[in-house]
Structure 1
Amino acid sequence: MFSLFPALVSGSVADRSALRFGDRSLTYAELAASAGALAARLDGAARVAVWATPTLETAVGVVAALLAGVPAVPLNPRSGEAELGHIVGDSAPSLVLAAPGDVLPAPLGALERVDVTVDPGLAAGTKEEAPGGTAAPGSAAPGTVTDPGSPALVVYTSGTTGPPKGAVIPRRAIAATLDALADAWQWTGDDVLVHGLPLFHVHGLIIGVLGPLRRGGSVRHLGRFGAEGVARELDAGATMLFGVPTMYHRLAEAFDEHPGLAGALGRARLLVSGSAALPLHDHERIRAATGRGVVERYGMTETLMNTSVRADGEVRPGTVGVPLPGVGLRLVEEDGTTIAWYEADGTPAGAYDGESVGEIQVRGPNLFTGYLNRPDATAAAFSADGWFRTGDMAVLDPGGSVRIVGRKATDLIKSGGYKIGAGEIENALLEHPGVREAAVAGEPDADLGERVAAWIVPLDLREPPSAEELAGHVANRLAPHKRPRTVRFLAALPRNDMGKILKRELPRD
């Protein structure tokens, strides 16, 4: 028997709060009833789309699809019509789940619509269990029927190198990742998570909503992220906070305006950041104000979570910890040579010197099964011996932690015979007192092959630090060959919904 949500199916924590979005909430019994009733309506569907607004209806809709054994396709409500049209055409859902009153765009107009009904009253009289351990009618009965290898979600990638591809996430990958994170973060049913992330991607939906439900814990979603909401929920007993670097930067900026914020963050058991590197100065400001470090982890759509700093480990800014239980990880050079890896017992081996750069490749039960309708792309994503090529470049520090230096396609700069990771230069620039934000990439250079270029958002746009000062700052902290040869100043860096810098949109002369 396999279930993603043992607590939901068994009724063992029926009266505990499961989900809260704003002032609306559901206990486990109420969630089981609402999701179970919807799951019965989805029975037999091949695939369903979910209009993934940050609402209780989205969470209930996804849980219902998982209980019914029907793959769900979360849709970003901020996507343009062309992108939505591609996703709908590619995934071919039978219907779309949405909250009552949601206005859906034209690409969804041809789909049958099912409004997600959230009715706490459905829970009345559903706590009895039928023979054989199956929940009574109207509750979460379908939750025990599906093979661990069957598709659970189809999550579309960002599409930075072409149309978005649908990564097929099996149920075993969700269970393996969430159980590995429970080990790394000492995550239990007593934890209460607060976050304000979108619900159409891995971090916000799988880790942020399904994670607490698998543990039998609680999630409080802010709807809209803000320092006041974070402080309120942590003061009211929440134990964990999930966010992306942009959110933690805003929290660090808000300490003076919200005097109680630092104390609230300091009372959290765990602060977790992901989706991009958290700048060193934000790490330091948060630790100085709260006495607590921010744990970073590393994952992606196709692999869910790969590594994390452990809750009982040392928080080292700039690193994303060690492989999670069950995850194999190695660093590979362009010619296919493996230069660093982890032994079966988790011991680092090879060139874990903090300098030798290679592509991260991973394998394990956390991986997707392939790209929907794209066998060519699926085959290209794996090495000949079955490791997934992440496209992320990293080094292993002497202590054994993974430190990501950038993307292979955009952040590995080959200059004057050196391989340089853009990420480490960005971190060095962010240590300069006159720099608010920084992005680094390579540009063609007749002499060097590529030169290091930097885009800087200064603290004071009227009086930015000079290019020479910034180049010297990097040379002193890293090495002369890593200094930026070109510096451009901007009022803001282009970013996506998750706060990741869109380097292809950076202005170039």
Structure 2
Amino acid sequence: MSATGSLERPADESWRQAPFRHAEFLPVDLDLREDADGTIRLTTNAPYEPIDSNLARAFLTTAARLGDAPALAEKGADGEWEYTSFAELARDVRGAAQWMLDTLPRGGVLVLMAENSVAVAALSFAAFATGTILCPVSPAYGIAGGDHARLRHVFDRVRPAAIYCDPRAAYAKALEDIGCEATIISSDPSVFGEGTVAVADIFRTKATDAVDTAIEGADTEAAAQYMMTSGSTGLPKVVQQSLTALAANTAQGLGLIGRAAGWDDIMLDWLPWHHAAGASVLRAGLTQGGTLHIDAGKPAPGLFEKSIANLRDISVPYFNNVPLGYAMLVEAMDKDTELRDTFFAKMRLMLYGGAGLPQHVYDKLQRHAVAATGHRIHMTTGYGMTETVSGCCAIHFETDKVGIGLPGPGVELKLVPTGDRYEARMRGPMLMIGYLDEPEKTAAAFDEEGYYRTGDMVVFHDRDDPAQGLAFAGRMAEEFKLSNGTWVYGGQLREQLLKALSDDIAELVLADDGRPFLGMLAWPKPGATLDGIAAKLAEFNQDQHGGSAKIRRVRLLEKPASANDHEISDKGTINRRAVLDNRTHTVDALFADEPPADVRQV
């Protein structure tokens, strides 16, 4: 079969019987206690084994051991991989650290507004070395246009002393528009004008003993990094993270899936370092001694092709992506057996995060894995959030169910009963210090026992066998009421609809609070028709009970979700509220007494 031929799928479900490829996991050893009110407290009995909280020292120790071994790789203009060794990266970290000590105020903020790169990695660890507070922000903030609301909001909060930017005219205009007075650093100073510092000159700064003194004197409990929440319900909050929390989260990941993931092996990852999951891969790789290939693609039109090319080029034992990325990957594999075979050649663990993985996407991945290798491949989650640094719960056992798994070492999971579901709360050394300059929101984020309120709802796959793990059951922020007072469990319903309509729609938004019935707005896949989607919705409705789970009208969207209008995050997740608020005429037509011709009654 040719690499671009149509992949035949087995008519039966025999792939479900294939054994899993071996992967070394943390054994399941749970401690479950239930309070009188039904609250469940869940931990693992596996010991929490911390790593050095002084992350700059941890990296430099690894770099001294590995020397000329490759640490990072990125593709050059010729399309070939260019490698940076641990020794070279350590030199750049020390040079940048000296520059920061000489130039920036102690505890000053360094904003990074750039795509993943060797320079960003070096500046990040230099900040950890010097007490400079690292603040990665999404490049989308700098190219959003308009009034730059998110960029203004963040800069007003963090008050940067310096900003590293990729050399893009849009960034220069954004910084000029908001009146930024911080020192600007770039690989091409000419884009930003007089006074801009060349990052190459920073790396060439001669390091002195002051760098080692600063590293050894690091306050690992102080704020070391500001990370932005996704802003899915408004402007982003600034999360204060300490070195202790960053290292604790890395240690939890190593305990849960580290041997299976192989962070000391060959890696390829696109996830941005200004988000929790991507940053965790960078920290783990550089402290554990792996070689991280920086994927310049992402699951978006015009960019995913880069990821596909890289995945054809490099076989890795571990892969990390968001559900949207996996959905696009399986569609590519449907037509490309070369991609499928290369992807699964060494694969022993796939991780998803950022949102719940639809079961149908999981099933398709496993069909491809069995076709390529004769084995199913372990799939895990990185369940967590910016407030917990990154994932601190995971599936670390054999299962064919999607979910959020079980807590890692040092994680205390508190499950508060709410009807037939539980609200998930977490406590442990990975928790944030709090939201910057927002004491009321910080206080509201924690309960009376110091557990972080995730806002997520979960259920056991089998309450009588908790070792099967937990499943995501919706976000409280995604739940809303119809005008008759009945609740719509938006997260759960959305996942069910995406599965039922997987061949026809790419994404959907449920509408809307206070309406007499449920409507749906959807982005169709090529070839899908409104009548065909409405017919499948009618079949879906037959299996639903009550009006809070039945779709009565549907309308298709032509305009893609816009990051500039806060409708979609860098991780590809949809901000339902922003979509509805930005398209009020579309929503009103969906519920009109006499709807237009492009609305279908189901």
Question: What's the TM-score, normalizing by structure 1?
Answer: 0.83
| Offset at residue 438 of structure 1 (A) | 4.5
Greater CA deviation, 305-314 or 497-506? Answer: 305-314
Once residues 301 and 435 of structure 1 are traced to their aligned partners in structure 2, the CA distance between those partners, rounded to angstroms, is 33
* 3-state SS, counterpart of residue 276 of structure 1: coil
User: How many residue pairs were aligned?
Assistant: 473
1:50 and 2:112 matched: yes
String of CA shifts for 1:219-271, please: whole Å, max 9, x gaps. Answer: 11111233564564575353222111221122111124433111122122222
1:19 and 2:72 matched: yes
CA contact 2:130–2:211 (8 Å) conserved in 1? no
1:273 and 2:347 matched: no
Match of 2:266 among 169, 172, 192: 192
| Offset at residue 474 of structure 1 (A) | 4.9
Which of 1 and 2 has higher RCO (CA within 8 Å, sep 6+)? 2
Over 3 Å counting, the alpha-carbon distance change for 1:435 and 1:483 in structure 2 is farther
Residue equivalent to 2:374: none
Over 3 Å counting, the alpha-carbon distance change for 1:30 and 1:311 in structure 2 is farther
Greater CA deviation, 364-373 or 53-62? Answer: 53-62
Over 3 Å counting, the alpha-carbon distance change for 1:211 and 1:469 in structure 2 is same
Q: Which amino acid letter does the alignment assign opposite residue 125 of structure 2? A: V
Q: Which amino acid letter does the alignment assign opposite residue 484 of structure 1? A: K
Over 3 Å counting, the alpha-carbon distance change for 1:92 and 1:437 in structure 2 is same
CA contact 1:329–1:361 (8 Å) conserved in 2? yes
Match of 2:571 among 493, 498, 503: 498
Once residues 356 and 166 of structure 1 are traced to their aligned partners in structure 2, the CA distance between those partners, rounded to angstroms, is 33
CA contact 2:505–2:528 (8 Å) conserved in 1? no
Over 3 Å counting, the alpha-carbon distance change for 1:279 and 1:99 in structure 2 is same
String of CA shifts for 1:329-366, please: whole Å, max 9, x gaps. Answer: 2233xxxxx46xxxxxxxxxxxxxxx822322111111
1:375 and 2:439 matched: yes
Q: Which amino acid letter does the alignment assign opposite residue 249 of structure 1? A: A
Over 3 Å counting, the alpha-carbon distance change for 1:278 and 1:118 in structure 2 is farther
* 3-state SS, counterpart of residue 249 of structure 2: helix
Percent sequence identity over aligned pairs: 25
| Offset at residue 414 of structure 1 (A) | 7.3
Match of 2:152 among 81, 85, 89: 85
Once residues 442 and 506 of structure 2 are traced to their aligned partners in structure 1, the CA distance between those partners, rounded to angstroms, is 35
String of CA shifts for 1:26-74, please: whole Å, max 9, x gaps. Answer: 1111111101110111123522111232222212211211122211111
Match of 1:295 among 356, 362, 380: 380
Unpaired runs of at least 5, structure 1: 127-134, 333-337, 340-354
Counterparts of residues 141-160 of structure 1 (less than 5 Å): 142-160=214-232
* 3-state SS, counterpart of residue 350 of structure 2: strand
1:3 and 2:59 matched: no
Q: Which amino acid letter does the alignment assign opposite residue 73 of structure 2? A: R
* 3-state SS, counterpart of residue 95 of structure 2: helix
Unpaired runs of at least 5, structure 2: 1-51, 76-80, 187-197, 299-303, 371-376, 562-567, 589-602
Over 3 Å counting, the alpha-carbon distance change for 1:435 and 1:214 in structure 2 is same
Once residues 130 and 107 of structure 2 are traced to their aligned partners in structure 1, the CA distance between those partners, rounded to angstroms, is 9
Once residues 70 and 420 of structure 1 are traced to their aligned partners in structure 2, the CA distance between those partners, rounded to angstroms, is 45
Match of 1:213 among 282, 286, 292: 286
CA contact 2:73–2:82 (8 Å) conserved in 1? yes
Residue equivalent to 1:396: 460
Question: What's the TM-score, normalizing by structure 2?
Answer: 0.71
Once residues 415 and 306 of structure 1 are traced to their aligned partners in structure 2, the CA distance between those partners, rounded to angstroms, is 37
String of CA shifts for 1:6-41, please: whole Å, max 9, x gaps. Answer: 243351112221111223331111111101110111
Residue equivalent to 1:423: 491
Counterparts of residues 35-184 of structure 1 (less than 5 Å): 35-43=93-101, 44-79=106-141, 80=144, 81-99=148-166, 103-104=171-172, 105=174, 106=176, 107=178, 109-115=180-186, 117=199, 142-184=214-256
Once residues 464 and 8 of structure 1 are traced to their aligned partners in structure 2, the CA distance between those partners, rounded to angstroms, is 60
* 3-state SS, counterpart of residue 15 of structure 1: coil
* 3-state SS, counterpart of residue 390 of structure 2: strand
* 3-state SS, counterpart of residue 456 of structure 1: strand
More helix by share: 2
* 3-state SS, counterpart of residue 12 of structure 1: helix
1:247 and 2:313 matched: no
Greater CA deviation, 465-474 or 375-384? Answer: 465-474
Counterparts of residues 314-333 of structure 1 (less than 5 Å): 314-317=399-402, 319-332=403-416
| Offset at residue 101 of structure 1 (A) | 7.2
Residue equivalent to 2:398: 313
Once residues 551 and 307 of structure 2 are traced to their aligned partners in structure 1, the CA distance between those partners, rounded to angstroms, is 43
Over 3 Å counting, the alpha-carbon distance change for 1:189 and 1:465 in structure 2 is closer
4+ residue segments displaced more than 6 Å: 119-123, 138-141, 414-418
Once residues 491 and 416 of structure 1 are traced to their aligned partners in structure 2, the CA distance between those partners, rounded to angstroms, is 27
Once residues 302 and 223 of structure 1 are traced to their aligned partners in structure 2, the CA distance between those partners, rounded to angstroms, is 27
Match of 1:386 among 429, 440, 450: 450
Residue equivalent to 1:351: none
Once residues 425 and 254 of structure 1 are traced to their aligned partners in structure 2, the CA distance between those partners, rounded to angstroms, is 27
CA contact 2:426–2:451 (8 Å) conserved in 1? yes
* 3-state SS, counterpart of residue 149 of structure 1: coil
Once residues 30 and 122 of structure 1 are traced to their aligned partners in structure 2, the CA distance between those partners, rounded to angstroms, is 11
1:436 and 2:505 matched: yes
RMSD, aligned α-carbons: 3.2
Over 3 Å counting, the alpha-carbon distance change for 1:455 and 1:307 in structure 2 is farther
String of CA shifts for 1:287-327, please: whole Å, max 9, x gaps. Answer: 1112335322222111123544335432412x121112211
Counterparts of residues 436-475 of structure 1 (less than 5 Å): 436-439=505-508, 441=510, 443-444=512-513, 451-459=517-525, 460-465=527-532, 467=534, 469-475=536-542
CA contact 1:410–1:441 (8 Å) conserved in 2? no
CA contact 2:109–2:161 (8 Å) conserved in 1? yes
Once residues 283 and 454 of structure 1 are traced to their aligned partners in structure 2, the CA distance between those partners, rounded to angstroms, is 24
Residue equivalent to 2:16: none
Q: Which amino acid letter does the alignment assign opposite residue 426 of structure 2? A: V
